Structures are given as structure tokens and as C-alpha cells.
Amino acid sequence: MNATDGRGGHAERASGAAPDRDAERDHDQDVDEALALVREASAGYEDGQGKRPGAGRPGAGRPGERRPGERHAPHADQHRPDNPRPDNPHPTNPHPRHQGTPWPQARDRAARAAESVARRSPASVPLDQALGLVLAAPLTALTDLPSFDTSAMDGWAVAGPGPWKVRDEGVLAGQSGADALADGEAMPIATGARIPREVTAVIRSEHGRTDSKGRLHAEREVMHGQDIRPRGQECRSGDQLLPARFSVTPAVLGLAAAAGYDSLPVVPRPRVEVLVLGDELLTEGLPREGLIRDALGPMLPYWLRALGAEVIAVRRLGDDAKKLREAVAGSQAELVVTTGGTASGPVDHVHPTLRALGAELLVDGVEVRPGHPMLLARLDERRHLVGLPGNPLAAVSGLLTLAEPVLRTLSGRIAPVPYLAPTRDEIHGHPHDTRLVPVVLRAEPQLVAVPLHYNGPAMLRGIAASDGLAVVPPGGAKPGQELEILDLPWTLPSSPTTHDTNSAEGCFT
């Protein structure tokens, strides 16, 4: 495979370049991606009637037209700063820079796009199947917590002032209770046991002693009600425990069970189908004779599930345009995710497929590195497609830029609050685009983000060792500069889907 493959990325050799050559390597990667995009811009999107798809729709401009929040092509700005006609069909520079959507706007547009999808009906699922889902309704207590007065400690239940005559029988957790105590009586009691009537306090086992006559003496002052958890201390029946759209964590499962729930009303996971493209991919063994291993096929289903999706299928289609068109048209998923094929090479079939199906391009390229050629399209009123670049780290960038906001909206999740961390080291930036750089977080002694060197579009070594991705603005970041950190949704997911293992084709570029 050549350095640029025209498939929304380039095959970078993971040869372990020295760290002091990172800037030069990153520059070369940016040039390669830019060249692919220039070819795409030059080819155009003829739809058979001499118009570009989307012409006449809001936000669809003429070639070279500047839209709100976007920059002019740098070459045109450099050579013709006073050009009065930005839509000049014959500019001085025949290869203007592809104008993608700025990264923050792309994420916002992806989140808003999914709002138009009709909400699926809530589902009631058993507690053991609810982990990781989102509450579709507020969680209200079905009972008082605790449901009766209980002992907070092992010891003795006592009534009135001491010393106390100790009964022979005691009360354990799970028993219905014992007869009422009279003043001056005590009985052994276990943590969690129901408090008998007329008990005034519980004396911890380490705070009392019995004498030779079997009488209990307190070794410190006894306060009325001490070490007794009164009924309703945590909540009363009908109290709201958690609001709707709250993520179900293990602690939420425990609270729901304690409050009387056997099942929970949740927002179903949005269904996702993954279509992996590329004839050059192997599903096993070592790379050979121009063929490379599929990295995205094994990775994407689990990553998507960690983002809240139900992956209903992973299909390997190779570079077959007909198969791709049929697969996209027939998919029952709310979100279709493709890998590779988003540029304008001879086997890049994503754009032609979207045109053939009458899809609406919402995001066609994003001003971010890696992953510039990612896209988002509306297939119909209930389905969207995210086209990921084929290079692995570029695909991760696409997941977090476009797929995560769509899935977050579809699953009813609340957007996380962004947080910042200063970078320990200087990070080289792209002249115009945002960069997403794998980092590890360290306390030195304050929290800092340490950028990792293996951050090329085709590399996974950096992201595999990272805690998150730093959002680096155009121009780069100096040591100490605070950067937004995108967390990685690492979980321990169960099997996300049954893979199509009968197909011989591979995935990813």
C-alpha cells in the first residue's frame, strides 16, 4: 500500500520513529491527508444533473464559498487576499483546501442530528441486564428505607436505664422480631436485625460487659436511639431517588434492589451495524503480500458498546460497491458505521452510495487530525450513517467526534461536563485544524496530561496506553497550557454481537 491510499487515511509504517521526529512525521501525515482531500475536492460530486448534492439546502455553498464559522482555503487567502469573488470558478490556485466542519460544531451537529429521531419506547429489563443503560423514568422508592427499625451494630438491644438483665434468646437479621422488652431488660442482637418493641438503644458488643449474675453494664454513656437505624432514615416510599436519564451503575442497581425493584425502565440501547470495507484486510495471521490485519473489526464493536450501543451485526464487505449499497439500504440499525472509503479513491464507495440512496450529508469532513475525512449522513428520518476513516487512530477520532454524540442522544444520556488538564510537554499543532492526541494523566504533583509519541493516524500504540485524548487547538499547545480531555469509555462489556464469520472479506484501511 502506498503512503496515501485514498481511502480516508494512509498506511503509515509503525516503525518506531524517534520521538524527536514526531513533528516531521505528523507534518507528513497531514500533507498526505490533505492531498487525498484535494483530489476529492477536484473530482466534485456530480449527481448526473450538473449539481452538487445538497445544492439548495441550507448550509450548502458553492465551491470555495465561505460559510459561517469556516475559514477560506489557505492557498486562496495567501495568494489572493483581496479576492472579491470567493466563488470564482477559476481561482488562481486550482487546489483549494477542503473546507470541513470545525471540530466543536461537528460534535454539536452530530448530537442535534439524532434529536430528530423518534424516541423508542422505554423497555423494562431485569436488574441484571440494566447495567450501563439509562433510566427512562425517575427512580422512586417503592418502600421506606429501611423498611423497619434495624440495628446498626452487633451488641445488645436494651430498654430503659441499666444495668440490664440479659435474656437468653437473641435476634438475628432476617428474623421477624422478638417480644417487646421491659425496662431493665436486654437481649443480644445482630447487625441488620429488626429492633424489638420498646427498645431504647443498642449497645455495641465492645462497649458493654456482663457480670457474674448475667447483668449487662455499659462502659460508656448510652444515648437514646444510639446505633438504631430508624425506619425511613434513607427515604420514604414515593421519594425520588434518581432522576430520569441517569446512567445505571452497579451502585444504582444496588439502590434499586434495596428500594424494591426487580426490573428497571430504561432507554433501549441504540442499534448499530458496522460495515467494514477493504479488500486488503486479513482476519488472522501475519500481514503478507500487501495484505494487512484488520484492527477495526475486533475493536469497534466493543468500543461502540462502551458508548452505549447494541451492535447487531459486523459485516465485512470488502471493496464491493453493490454490497455496500445493499447493506446500507437494508440495515435496520439506527446508526450504520462504515470503516474506510470516505475519500475519493477508485474504491472509495461511501460518497457514491450515499448519493445513490438520496442521503443528506450533515458533516462532510471535519477540521480535526487525525480523521479529517470522517462524515455524518442522514439516511432517512430514523437512521444515520457515520463514515469513519480507515486508519485506526483516525477511526477513533471519528468515533469520539461523530458517533459518540449521536449515540449519546439516542440513548438519552446527558453530555459529560468537559474538564481541563495542563499539558506537561509542548504539543505540535496543525496550522488550521484541531488535533486529538493520546495522553496519560499524571499527578506531578498536580494533574497533568503527558502526550504520547505514537499518535499517527495508523497507530494504535499510543491510544492503547492512554487515559484519554487531549483536544489541541490549531497551532499547538505550550507546556502548562490547559487542554480539554476526552475520556475513553473503557468498560468490561459482554459479548456485543454475533459476528458474521462466514464472510471472507476484511476491514479497514
| pLDDT tens digit sequence for 121-161 | 899 999 999 999 999 999 999 999 999 999 999 999 999 99
> Rounded distance, CA 89 to CA 85, Å?
9
Pairing outcome for strands 134-135 and 263-267: antiparallel
Q: Count other C-beta atoms under 10 Å from residue 376's C-beta.
A: 27
Residue 11: name the closest of 20, 21, 1 by CA. Answer: 1
β partners of residue 202: 157
User: 237 near 143, Cβ under 8 Å?
Assistant: yes
Task: For Cα atoms 170, 175, 180, give the angle at the middle one, nearest 5 degrees.
Answer: 55
Q: Extract the C-alpha cell encoding 190.
A: 445482630
Handedness of CA 156, 159, 163, 166 (dihedral sign): negative
* Whole-number Cα distances in Å, 312 to 113, 157, 491: 22, 57, 19
User: 238 near 141, Cβ under 8 Å?
Assistant: yes
Residue 164: name the closest of 195, 209, 206, 229 by CA. Answer: 209
Q: Which residue has the cell 439516511?
A: 379
Coil, helix or strand at residue 410: helix
**DSSP assignments along 320-348, one per residue:** -HHHHHHHHHH---SEEEEES--S-STT-
Handedness of CA 84, 86, 90, 96 (dihedral sign): positive
Q: Count other C-beta atoms under 10 Å from residue 58's C-beta.
A: 5
pLDDT given for residue 451 in this prediction: 97
Residue 317: name the closest of 507, 179, 91 by CA. Answer: 507
Q: Count other C-beta atoms under 10 Å from residue 255's C-beta.
A: 19
Coil, helix or strand at residue 62: coil
- In whole angstroms, what separates CA 27 from the centre of its chain? 29
Q: Which residue has the cell 474538564?
A: 419
Helix (H) or strand (E) holding 464: helix 461-464
Q: In a structure prediction context, what are the per-residue pLDDT tens digits for the chain, which is 509 residues long?
A: 333 343 444 333 333 333 444 444 444 444 444 444 334 444 433 333 333 333 333 333 333 333 333 333 333 333 333 333 334 444 444 444 557 999 999 999 999 999 877 677 899 999 999 999 999 999 999 999 999 999 999 999 999 998 999 998 889 998 876 788 999 999 999 999 999 999 999 999 999 999 988 899 988 999 999 999 999 999 999 999 999 999 999 999 999 999 999 999 999 999 999 999 999 998 889 999 999 999 999 999 999 999 999 999 999 999 999 999 999 999 999 999 999 999 888 889 999 999 999 999 999 999 999 999 999 999 999 999 999 999 999 999 999 999 999 999 999 998 888 899 999 999 999 999 999 999 999 998 899 999 999 999 999 999 999 999 999 999 999 999 999 999 998 733 333 444 443 333 333 22
> Rounded distance, CA 430 to CA 23, Å?
10
Query: What single letter denotes the amino acid at residue 259?
Result: A
User: 118 near 382, Cβ under 8 Å?
Assistant: yes
Q: Where are the beta strands (DSSP E) in 246-307?
A: 263-267, 271-277, 281-282, 292-293
| φ/ψ bin of 508: left (φ > 0), alpha (ψ from -120 to 50), beta (otherwise) | left
pLDDT given for residue 118 in this prediction: 65
User: 76 near 91, Cβ under 8 Å?
Assistant: yes
User: 369 near 435, Cβ under 8 Å?
Assistant: yes
Q: Extract the C-alpha cell encoding 116.
A: 430528530
Helix (H) or strand (E) holding 26: helix 22-43
Pairing outcome for strands 150-151 and 263-267: unpaired
- In whole angstroms, what separates CA 6 from the centre of its chain? 28
User: 271 near 310, Cβ under 8 Å?
Assistant: yes
Query: What single letter denotes the amino acid at residue 290?
Result: G
| φ/ψ bin of 124: left (φ > 0), alpha (ψ from -120 to 50), beta (otherwise) | beta
Task: For Cα atoms 122, 128, 134, give the angle at the middle one, nearest 5 degrees.
Answer: 35
3-state secondary structure 156-176: EEECCCCCEEECCCCECCCCC
Residue 198: name the closest of 184, 171, 180, 216 by CA. Answer: 180
Residue 395: name the closest of 368, 365, 371, 421 by CA. Answer: 371
Query: What single letter denotes the amino acid at residue 38?
Result: V
pLDDT given for residue 344 in this prediction: 83
Q: How many CA atoms lie within 13 A of 415 on its CB side?
A: 12
pLDDT given for residue 179 in this prediction: 86
pLDDT given for residue 98 in this prediction: 55
> Rounded distance, CA 328 to CA 333, Å?
9
